[in-house]
Amino acid sequence: YKELDAVHENVLQLCYTCPMYNLDKWSAAGLISSRPGALASEALRSWFNYGGGADLMNKMMEGYNVMTFPGALSPLPEEVFFHSKKKIESVEDLKSIKARCMGDAGEILKRMGMATVIIPGGELYEAMKRGTIDAFEYSTLASNWDMHFNEVAEYVYLSPVRAPCDPQVFFVNKDAWNELPDDLKLLVKTFIDRFTQAQQEYLVYESIQALEKFKAYGNKVVKVPDEVNKALAAEAAKFYEEKVASEPPIFGEIYNSMKAYGEAYDSMK
């Protein structure tokens, strides 16, 4: 995960990566990533490009010879909440499940009483087969179908709360960018925007196809109960409010900007 250093030092001029890989530099980078209670794709893209998100990210990156492209987001449809062998019908049920869950979501679910462990994606199939875990999150419906996860878990739980989207970003070397003539700048930005949007649309389409495959195989596709969604959202809010108090100011600036934008967006839907 050295892309950012490579772009900063102009070894690379541009990279496409997950902001969360740069938590060692900026604790706030994970806010613009797959995390509980974050903005879903449409809200995230418009926040990033018009609601001040790109400016805040560039502010976070001050001191580096790197900038982020407005528009250079690739939101996915929500990740699968969990592939699970056990039913999830209440917050209480979480406490009886041992699950692979990474990042902030893992920490938040642990606070809610879940036994969470960290396991690489490639080992999930075996871990489920052997009973090391009862459930796990991984990626999108389409990618998870390709991993044959239908064979190791009866239930596919869906929810918009744990990982509303999984944005990637483009990081660009500032000097290299500034040397480009204006017409090429426009072309690069336009193609990047077009690519990110097409990727998101295609992922939506792929997920829809994959959902049908899980059902046809016999998996039970279930929406997470409202009670669990609400409790997870509330615990996530507490978790991040605590971080706002302890992290550098930019963390709070980004968190509060996203939160306000998300509340306004939700009141419109």
Nearer to a copy of itself, 2 or 194 (CB): 194
Give the range of 9-17, 38-46, 88-96, 177-185 binding a copy of itself by CB under 8 A.
Answer: 38-46
CA gap 199, 22 in Å, rounded: 23
Answer for which of 5, 154, 193, 247 binds a copy of itself (CB under 8 A) is 193
Do the Cβ atoms of 68 and 15 come closer than 8 Å?
no
CA gap 28, 26 in Å, rounded: 5
- Cα-based torsion angle of the residue sequence 225, 226, 228, 230 in order, rounded to the nearest 10 degrees: 170
Q: Per-residue x/- mask for a copy of itself, residues 79 to 118, rule CB under 8 A?
A: ----------------------------------------
CA gap 200, 66 in Å, rounded: 25
Looking only at the bridges linking them, the beta strands covering 14-17 and 169-173 are antiparallel
- Nearest residue to 60 via CA among 22, 5, 21: 22
Q: Which of residues 116-155 bind a copy of itself (CB under 8 A)?
A: 141
Q: Which residue has the tokens 């409202």?
A: 226
Smallest distance from a copy of itself to CB 206, Å: 8
Answer for which of 22, 150, 168, 207 binds a copy of itself (CB under 8 A) is 207
181: contact with a copy of itself by CB under 8 A:
no
165: contact with a copy of itself by CB under 8 A:
no
Do the Cβ atoms of 171 and 15 come closer than 8 Å?
yes
- Nearest residue to 143 via CA among 195, 202, 206: 206
Nearer to a copy of itself, 30 or 75 (CB): 75
Would you tell me which residues interact with a copy of itself (CB under 8 A)? 41-43, 45-47, 49-51, 71, 77-78, 141, 158, 160, 190-191, 193-194, 197-198, 200-202, 204-205, 207-208, 211-212, 221, 261, 264-265, 267-269
